[in-house]
A and B are shown apart, each in its own frame.
Chain A
Amino acid sequence: MIGQYTRRKVTNYLMLTLCGLATLAAIAILLLVVGYTAVNGLPYLNLEFITQTARPLGEPGGGMRNEIIGTLILVGLASAIGLPVGLLAGSFLAEYGDGRVGTAVRLVADVLTGVPSVVIGIFVYIIMVRSMGTFSALSGGVALAIIMLPIVARTTEEMMRLIPATYREAALALGISRWRTIISVVIPGAMTGIVTGSMLAVARITGETAPLIFTALGNRFGFSGLLNPIAAMPLQIWRYATSAYDTWHQQAWAASFLLVIFVLFINISVRWLTARRYGYTR
């Protein structure tokens, strides 16, 4: 009896230690990434970095204004395309997706989530860039929207399915039509979850580099219309980081840190939103 009890206790401590170590490793990596980019990037992050455009090589100073604006435009463009389509697709899956069509769409969405982003970049390159004859902000936005789409659609579906059937029935029993029930009862109930999923999708595409190489290309001269190449922070980081110049490396670090902060900010906002939601219903 005692032997068995001791063994159980030892096993328990052993497993607990292993779990603790694994958690520690995961957190340590995150802290290392954030810390390393902060140490290397923070010294070069200043007002000039955000408000100034890039200077020619050899001239000190300069910043990433064009790239920051470009990334905001690209993310905005991608959201303008990806969010509505994803929302509608998710609503379809949640409300009418029990048949064969729904199963097929769900499978395609899951596969799309796993497609490497560089492949999506090449796809958009062939479909849009080649046929339009130019790299463009628009094609970059489309590539990022395709990456967003399955994430938004699947989280929207999951969140809408969480709304208890009793609320749908209450609405239907009032003589409210099906589509009105979805819009006025189901979607508002799932709103926090849908917003959370959408923000995570935005965070995900903000740092995407590979699909932009084939589509947005980059642009040293600032925004010049949606049908022309556009600058983007991840692209500039990639170019500066692979260059041979120390000043460019420093700028790449500063831009990396800015990106990490942006993504971190979105993630923390999401945590805050969800925490508020549970505080409100419980």
Chain B
Amino acid sequence: MSHETDWERPLEQRAKIVVERLNAWYGPVHAIHDISLTILDRRITAVIGPSGCGKSTLLRCLNRMHEVQPGARAQGEVLLNGENIYASGVDPVTVRRRVGMVFQRPNPFPTMSVFDNVAAGLKLHSLLSRTRFADTVERALRRAALWDEVKDKLKKNGAALSGGQQQRLCIARALAVEPEVLLMDEPASALDPMATLAIEDLMRELVQDTTIVIVTHNMQQAARVSDKTAFLLANAQGAGELIEYGDTPQVFTNPKDERTEAYITGRFG
């Protein structure tokens, strides 16, 4: 039934997320078709492919953010530590606390200070929590390599920071709730090269104790930063399919599928 092949099986590493025959739709539009893959614990997995191949949709299915959009639905299994997050009775809110997300455009809450932005996930989780968050906020900002730059302006508005700082603020905000997995949807595409490098260095740091899945248009970025690479391509009906998935060096230097080779050598996409 499953169409697993050798490259899909984990080697000696532990699986964090196992995607089984995942399909997703936007209304009548079939966005991804029968995708199965295993995301390894404490590794960076890059998802690459041309525009409209379902990369972001796949990512959004991993923390049930896909269904937030009107008319969107998903089918199949996504096992997080072996438990299906699409099983009936699973609260998507709980899933999203375990699987955090960073978006393409930095989106700090404009009505909140730097501090409140980072504390938002903790503060807004319940009405009653009266704990102090100073330690957590500092830790999250340090992990996001932003502490030194903002420690004197914690009360300033988050939107007043530079683009790269805003994106690291968003990463700190996601880290503050201590997710097991961090999903990043083209996190550097709106940033300049220096800020991009800072984000990439940061990802290498974070992956020591979290799992990262990154969607990127930038193939150099995928090659630089990731351990595993998945290549998606839309089929004749426009639904994204997994073409190739393997160790990043292998996918980029010795792709098994000729479509992967065509894409990474820049012949299309």
Partners in one complex: yes
Seen from chain A, the residues whose Cβ lies within 8 Å of a Cβ on chain B are 98, 164, 166-177, 180-181, 184-185, 188-189, 191, 281
- Asked if B94 is an interface residue, CB under 8 A from chain A, the answer is yes
The B39-70 residues at the A interface (CB cut-off 8 A) are: 63, 65, 68, 70
Q: Pick the contact of A167 from B65, B93, B109, B124 — CB < 8 Å?
A: B109
Q: Pick the contact of B96 from A166, A172, A188 — CB < 8 Å?
A: A172
Tell me if A173 and B65 are in contact (CB < 8 A).
yes
Tell me if A166 and B103 are in contact (CB < 8 A).
yes
Q: Pick the contact of B111 from A168, A180, A188 — CB < 8 Å?
A: A188
Which segment, of B4-12, B169-177, B210-218, faces chain A?
A: B169-177
Q: Pick the contact of A170 from B63, B107, B177 — CB < 8 Å?
A: B107
User: How far, in angstroms, from A168 to B65 measured CA to CA in the complex?
Assistant: 11
Q: What residues on B are CB-neighbors of A181 within 8 Å? A: 124
Residues 95-119 of chain B: 1 if any A CB is under 8 Å from the residue's CB, otherwise 0? 1111011010101111100000000
Q: What's the least CB distance linking A93 to chain B, in Å?
A: 15
Q: Pick the contact of B65 from A164, A172, A177, A184 — CB < 8 Å?
A: A172
Q: Pick the contact of A173 from B96, B108, B110, B159 — CB < 8 Å?
A: B96
- The 10 A-B pairs at the shortest CB distance, nearest first, are namely A175-B97, A174-B121, A173-B101, A175-B96, A188-B111, A166-B107, A176-B124, A170-B107, A180-B124, A184-B124
- Asked if B154 is an interface residue, CB under 8 A from chain A, the answer is no
Tell me if B103 and A174 are in contact (CB < 8 A).
no
User: How far, in angstroms, from A281 to B110 measured CA to CA in the complex?
Assistant: 9
Known contacts A175-B125, A176-B125; is A189 also within 8 Å of B68 by CB?
A: no
- Asked if B243 is an interface residue, CB under 8 A from chain A, the answer is no
Q: What residues on A are CB-neighbors of B93 within 8 Å? A: 175-177
- Chain B interface size, as a band, is 20 to 34
User: How far, in angstroms, from A180 to B159 measured CA to CA in the complex?
Assistant: 21
Known contacts A167-B107, A188-B111, A189-B111; is A176 also within 8 Å of B101 by CB?
A: no
Q: What residues on B are CB-neighbors of A175 within 8 Å? A: 93-98, 121, 125, 177
- Asked if B120 is an interface residue, CB under 8 A from chain A, the answer is yes
Q: Pick the contact of A98 from B65, B70, B109, B159 — CB < 8 Å?
A: B70
Tell me if B110 and A189 are in contact (CB < 8 A).
yes
User: How far, in angstroms, from A134 to B177 measured CA to CA in the complex?
Assistant: 59
Q: Pick the contact of B109 from A173, A185, A191, A281 — CB < 8 Å?
A: A185
Tell me if A174 and B100 are in contact (CB < 8 A).
yes
User: How far, in angstroms, from A188 to B158 measured CA to CA in the complex?
Assistant: 15
Tell me if A176 and B107 are in contact (CB < 8 A).
no
User: How far, in angstroms, from A188 to B116 measured CA to CA in the complex?
Assistant: 13
User: How far, in angstroms, from A191 to B105 measured CA to CA in the complex?
Assistant: 23
Residues 172-209 of chain B: 1 if any A CB is under 8 Å from the residue's CB, otherwise 0? 01100100000000000000000000000000000000
Q: What's the least CB distance linking B79 to chain A, in Å?
A: 19
Q: Pick the contact of A169 from B65, B108, B173 — CB < 8 Å?
A: B65
Q: Pick the contact of A174 from B68, B111, B159, B177 — CB < 8 Å?
A: B177
Tell me if A174 and B120 are in contact (CB < 8 A).
yes
Q: Which of B108, B124, B125, B173 has the most CB of A within 10 A?
A: B124
Q: What's the least CB distance linking B174 to chain A, in Å?
A: 7
Q: What residues on A are CB-neighbors of B124 within 8 Å? A: 171, 174, 176, 180-181, 184-185
Q: What's the least CB distance linking A198 to chain B, in Å?
A: 18
Tell me if B111 and A169 are in contact (CB < 8 A).
no
User: 15 additional contacts, CB 8 Å, given A169-B103, A170-B173?
Assistant: A166-B105, A167-B110, A169-B107, A172-B96, A173-B65, A173-B100, A174-B96, A174-B120, A175-B93, A176-B120, A176-B124, A177-B93, A181-B124, A185-B124, A189-B111
Residues 149-175 of chain B: 1 if any A CB is under 8 Å from the residue's CB, otherwise 0? 000000000010000000000100110
Give 27 CB contacts A-B under 8 Å: A98-B70, A164-B107, A167-B109, A169-B103, A170-B108, A171-B109, A171-B120, A171-B124, A172-B65, A173-B101, A173-B103, A173-B174, A174-B124, A175-B96, A175-B97, A175-B98, A175-B121, A175-B125, A176-B125, A180-B125, A181-B124, A184-B124, A185-B111, A185-B124, A189-B111, A191-B111, A281-B159
